[in-house]
Structure 1
């Protein structure tokens, strides 16, 4: 089985140790607001520490009590006889700023603020929260919360939640929902083999955010998989950077509920309207190697599977089953999850035929068809044979293993136990993950208990098992392609383009289309030539220049963003006469549409030949920063929203994966006799756009819509660049 070493797990993400270790693994704890009332958190925290046999110093702080649960109490932090690593503040919200000032004087390293009543309640609460942060920073105290459920570190025997029947293990969990923690703890208790290292409820993330907690879990030698339940990121871009580095060392699992709407509300372009979505967040997390689960009941199964098995080489799965129906279900779920049934070699099928009955199916999925009814250990032999096939990345046992002695005869228990030992031996000898689904898993028969105790994941749901296989394959591919995942360097800004941004800023406008096209052209993007006519007298020369080419004419105006709505676009024009007629019509329509509009003229460019419509866009998400979108145009983006997102800057692997991700990918490959488009040219275009946005922070949004994709390249038909009003040079 794939195991990371303690040294690998302990390796720091940023080259220096996270300060969170100083108080998430504390040697001394002050309970401020310790209580003798069993209904109070100050009581429960004391009970959790005492019952859990915490070996560090416990300091109950209460102005009137002499002791709490037999532990000497102190009237204030100043009265404590020793240093304090962690303070648990159990008092009302209004008292917190003053208490944090005391913590600063005492040299407390970290404080957990349980109270609610801060920014989540309105402006008055927000002012109080700002006071909390000011007091903490003045005293050098890091703050968990406020409005948090608390924390535990079970290997340190710190259980400030007084949770019963929760065992120490290797899953680190950060959750904005206390109920989600309780759900996973109960699920782990039923599982019987899953334990936790550290839990923290980040609360309002006033000081410490998800990126800080992830960094800590990435460095923690007791954590083999970092698991997060996220409602909202405070600094998404920083989180992505930490996630990118952490996933090199250990798996990261995220369940993201909801989605930010800020980008959608602020957006004025098509790209911006699609950004800020849940789909965007998921794409960005997966870009960094995070395993995203979309159903809450998948969190613990996937975390357990990744903790135990770490990764697979790829997505080719061999299924061994003792029932055709469940083999079919497994095949369906595997396909839906983006996994493939590994094509078994002739040698593998020959070896299977030697040990199975004639009616057995020797293609993947392998159905033993009764061959194991009298000898369940035979399944282990089948697993070993398929695991030795070079076409196989992971192995999936599906059926009723563990229940043969119940279903058929008690004397089969020995055969099942021998089969379990053989499976354990196989798992230790191969780097190919072995995942087990058994319909008897809920009753935990001896053979399945033995597998689980030995570190093999056993699931009662085909869907959960498949999701684990998908996560293992995705992680293995991500790690294998990291060498191709270094972001491309940004180009040097072009002087003429910078001058255009300066002019746009001084005039309080966005780039005109001809300026946007010049920006693209300056950095190697294939853009057809254009001419701008600022008066009708220029049309004759333009008509002569383009000859018989069909032209598109579009209004150029800082005040007309949606040209088609204003009647500002005419297509398929040839010759001076048609240009003059179209020019007059555009000016008339646009002046009627926006009488006060400042019309600079019209832009003329050759019509692009028919191809596959593509949309490429960039928006600056308020949480994640610059994000690039790619998809097919037309109905695919308007109705189906079949698009892919990546955080800028992109690597070549990122760009290629965007093209591969969209559901309509087959259209690019050519369907019904159509010629495939040049996808490498599209990859190159995505990289150039990523570089342009990296080079020019003045760009708030960028839309290339449509881009026509051809078998021999592409053509950018329309380009739009919205200037960031906050950037230097914008008036």
Structure 2
């Protein structure tokens, strides 16, 4: 079992609020159904050591604690106020808190920005008072918080185990679900919980920074419905994830992703997949299902990381070994290739019918000696080809399944596994079908900090998170973003002119801007009148040509009949020119037609897309995927927040699910991945140089093999310009 990397130096102002020296409960109540009563119970029953100040003008004491008629009557200065009163009372109460010097307030009430214009106005008034008086707001519309290491329990939840998993959840019911699951598990404990509510003041990035700094938190775990400032969250997550694991369950897609967009990139951005890609880019472990949250958090807390994604499976049953292998492959992990020396050592331990090839099936060898499984684990742990070890089967239940006399040997096996876990840096992940029964050997493992899972799928998800974390830490130690590139004078002039005219760049202008920044673009000619065609044909020496309409008013040229291909000779060029202009005028009678663009036909290759969009939540985002006219249908794309590192660019290219298309299929040659990586890096620099670029689409880009002189060909380029407000 591994030690945690560390935690951040303290900068967050939330420490004093979340570990308060005194708490005012505004709206404290004697009614057991009220939150003001439950908070009092949670503080008293939990053994909170600071001063408690119940505020209720109609009572003299609550649960034996003297009350105060108003906040102004509270003696001293509590660090935190819990406000349990209706929404309409909150703005004035916040001002009153500020006058007393209270620095933080938890606002439980709903009825603010989430309810419409009137609620938004009330929330704005609350925040104006908060800023005027220096009060930080948790909420409103929050489920509350607890900090178990400081015995602050404003939710009055029972049977919470103090531990090292910090939680921020926009769903109070999700917190309750995790708490109940932890009780059933018996070994998972929590440090801090915060319900961010509307995030009127304090947002996810602030809470994540606090958890990153908190010495009692080993894993930061977040349930997120929507980010207020996604760009800032990515910055903080990158910093925190370098120190300790961060687990996020993101529900649904961002609202911004449902908008209409004018490019392929815009149509695909804002999706759930984009959010997942950006979170993983900064080292966050993203779980897909809610029942994975706690298993992954616990696994990362106890096991921290794996050096890679090569897994050795040791099983006492062929069926479950096969299931484990299937799940590992589906998750992108690989079965480690065991060395000949390792296989020989296993064969010396096991019966002849056992398999020493990964997955290792002991085939009855452990029936009379369950501790043999621990010996097998120790053998494969010494293999340099193995990054993590996955024990699958019935360990812990041999004495229940066969004979109670086996319990002693199982306990020896458990002790040996714990010794191995402390001796090796390779994580040991254990699935047992007896986990729900919690027999003594499994309790021994779990209580000593080695988690045991009742689901192969959960265990595999933990293995994925461990591998991803190890990969991120290795990349983080060396990754550098592309060096900034200054804008060129001509490039700035192109964009400034387009903005002044209220339009986007025309295709030839977009390609000129790319060329300014050393991005290879094909040779082409803008033809504005019929008579120039013969000169163009001569320039390209009878090579097959492509012709496209150039118009600021026609975005989708093919839809307008504005594209003709494989043109050879003057007559073909003339007919294509006349047809394209006629089609364009019929498609958009009022369109301004600037001419046609003529270029040699690109060599055949694999069509990909490179795009960029300035997302309203996450800022500039780069996209790469399979391209052409079916890009939005295939939806095989990868996203990264800009600027990117070379490792980011490489991971984008390798993330595409249809890798066979890039690596060569049906006799085709593999494309040059280094050329695509270089293109992604150049686009990142270009976008950084020109903030007025709102969207960019290079689609299709024809990717070629390594020996091709160009590496790729940008067939079409679209750059959408930010409009002046």
Q: Is the 8 A contact 1:547 1:575 kept in 2?
A: no
**Is 1:138 aligned to 2:132, yes or no?**
yes
Matches within 5 A, 1:38-57: 38-57=32-51
Deviation at 1:638, TM superposition (A): 3.3
Q: Distance in 2 between the 1:239 and 1:369 partners?
A: 49
Write the distance in 1 (CA, Å) between the matches of 2:589 and 2:478.
53
Please report how far the alpha carbon of residue 636 of structure 1 lies from its aligned counterpart in structure 2 after TM superposition: 6.0
Residue 292 in structure 1 maps to residue 290 in structure 2: no
Deviates more, 1:530-539 or 1:392-401: 530-539
TM-superposed CA distance for 1:484, in Å, is: 4.0
Question: Which of 298, 320, 323 matches 1:326?
Answer: 320
Task: Name the structure 1 match of 2:188.
Answer: 194
In 2, the alpha carbon distance for the partners of 1:102 and 1:135 equals: 9
Task: Tell me the CA shift for residue 202 of structure 1.
Answer: 0.4
Secondary structure of 1:282's aligned partner: helix
Q: Give 1:241's aligned residue.
A: 235
2:477 counterpart residue number: 483
Q: Deviations over 1:377-434 (max 9, x none)?
A: 1111111001111111011111111111111111111000011001000000000001
Question: Of 588, 602, 605, which residue of structure 1 is paired with 2:582?
Answer: 588
1:126 to 2:141 alignment:
no
Alignment correspondent of 1:464:
458
Which residue does 2:210 correspond to in 1? 216
Q: CA deviation at 1:567?
A: 1.8
Instruction: String of CA shifts for 1:111-131, please: whole Å, max 9, x gaps.
Output: 100000111111111111111
Equivalent of 1:617 in 603, 611, 614: 611
CA contact (8 A) 2:626 2:634 kept: no
| Counterpart for residue 205 of structure 1 | 199
Identify which of 423, 429, 445 aligns with 2:423: 429
| Paired position in structure 1 for 2:718 | 720
Output one character per residue of 1:205-258: Cα deviation in whole Å (capped at 9) or x when no partner. 111111111010000000000000000011111101111111000000000001
On the 8 A contact 1:615/1:631 being kept in 2, the answer is yes
In structure 1, the partner of 2:53 is 59
The gaps in structure 1 that reach 5 residues or longer are none
Residues 357-391 of structure 1, C-alpha deviation per residue, up to 9 Å, x if partnerless? Answer: 11111011111111111111111111100111111
- Which residue does the alignment assign to 1:602? 596
What is the alpha-carbon distance in structure 2 between the residues aligned to residue 483 and residue 194 of structure 1?
A: 30
Q: CA deviation at 1:486?
A: 1.9
Cα RMSD (Å): 1.2
| Deviation at residue 283 of structure 1 after TM alignment | 0.6
SS of 2:426's equivalent in the other structure is coil
Give the aligned partner of residue 3 of structure 2. 3
Answer yes or no: is 1:24 the counterpart of 2:18: yes
**Equivalent residue, structure 2, for 1:534:** 528
Match status 1:155 vs 2:149 = yes
CA shift at 1:67, angstroms? 1.2
Match of 1:455? 449
8 Å CA contact 1:264, 1:272 repeated in 2: no
Tell me if the contact between 2:628 and 2:699 (Cα under 8 Å) persists in the aligned partners. no
- 2:344 is aligned to 350
| Cα-to-partner distance string for 1:519-548 (whole Å, 9 max, x where unaligned) | 111111110122112222322322222221
8 Å contact kept, 2:622–2:641: yes
**Aligned match for 2:394, one of 392, 400, 410:** 400
Q: Where does the alignment leave 5 or more consecutive residues of structure 2 unmatched?
A: none
- SS of alignment partner, residue 254 of structure 1: strand
Alignment-derived partner of residue 378 in structure 2: 384
Distance 2:255 2:512 in 1: 33
Contact 1:513 1:720 in 2 (8 A): yes
Encode CA deviations 1:591-640: one digit per residue, 9 max, x unaligned: 12211111111111221111111111111111111111111124762323
In 2, distance between residues paired with 1:475 and 1:195?
22
Question: Take 2:507 and 2:287, find their aligned partners in 1: how far apart are those partners?
Answer: 41
Quote the residue 1:374 is aligned against: 368
Identify the match of residue 102 of structure 1 among 96, 106, 118: 96
Distance 1:164 1:461, change over 3 A: same
Aligned CA distance change for structure 1 residues 195 and 338 (closer, same or farther; 3 Å): same
Greater shift after overlay, 223-232 or 638-647?
638-647
Deviations 1:82-118 (A, max 9, x none): 1111110000000110001011111111110000011
- Measured after TM superposition, the shift of residue 260 of structure 1 is 1.2
Question: Deviation string for 1:11-65 (max 9, x for gaps)?
Answer: 23xxx51011110111111101111111110000000000000001111111221
In the alignment, the residues of structure 1 paired with residue 716 and residue 50 of structure 2 have an alpha-carbon distance, to the nearest angstrom, of: 66
The superposition leaves residues 687-724 of structure 1 with CA deviations (integer Å, 9 ceiling, x where unpaired) of 11111111111111100110001113100000000001
**TM alignment of 1:353-364, pairs within 5 A:** 353-364=347-358
Q: Give SS of 1:431's match.
A: coil
Tell me, yes or no, if the aligned pair for 2:56 and 2:68 is still in contact at 8 Å.
yes
* SS in structure 2 at match of 1:390: coil
**SS of equivalent to 1:97:** helix
- Of 655, 665, 685, which residue of structure 2 is paired with 1:661? 655
Aligned to 2:506: 512
Q: Which residue of 1 aligns with 2:262?
A: 268
Separation in structure 1 between the aligned mates of residue 633 and residue 509 of structure 2, nearest angstrom: 30
State the TM-score, normalized to the length of structure 1. Answer: 0.97
CA distance in 1, matches of 2:630, 2:290: 29
2:563 pairs with 1:565? no
- 1:100–1:132: 8 Å Cα contact kept in structure 2? yes
Q: Which deviates more from structure 2 when the two are superposed, residues 479-488 or residues 456-465?
A: 479-488
| Mapped contact 1:263–1:622 kept (Cα < 8 A) | no
Q: Conserved in 2, the CA contact under 8 Å of 1:620 and 1:701? A: yes
Match of 2:685 in 1: 691
| 8 Å contact from structure 1 (residues 234, 623) kept in 2 | yes
- TM-score if structure 2 supplies the norm length? 0.98
Contact kept? 1:264, 1:275, Cα under 8 Å: no
Check the 8 A contact 1:555/1:602 in 2, yes or no.
Answer: yes
> Aligned partners of 1:514, 1:259: CA distance in 2, in Å?
35
Q: Supply the distance in 2 between the matched residues of 1:635 and 1:283 (Cα, whole angstroms).
A: 23
Q: Distance in 2 between matches of 1:652 and 1:636?
A: 27
The answer to whether the 8 Å contact 1:109/1:142 transfers is yes
What is the correspondence of 1:400-419 to structure 2 with a 5 Å cutoff?
A: 400-419=394-413
Distance 1:635 1:658 in 2: 20
**Residues 278 and 641 of structure 2 are in contact (CA less than 8 Å); yes or no, is this contact kept in structure 1?**
yes
Instruction: Check whether the contact 2:238–2:283 (CA below 8 A) recurs between aligned residues.
Output: yes
Give the Cα–Cα distance (whole angstroms) in 1 for the partners of residues 698 and 628 of structure 2: 13
Rounded to whole Å, the distance in 1 between the matches of 2:480 and 2:190 is 33
Distance 1:263 1:702 in 2: 17
2:330 is matched with 336
Aligned 8 A contact 1:704 1:716 in 2: yes
User: Is the contact between residue 319 and residue 396 of structure 1 (CA under 8 Å) also seen in structure 2?
Assistant: yes
Are the equivalent residues in 2 in contact too, given 1:484–1:652 (CA < 8 A)? no
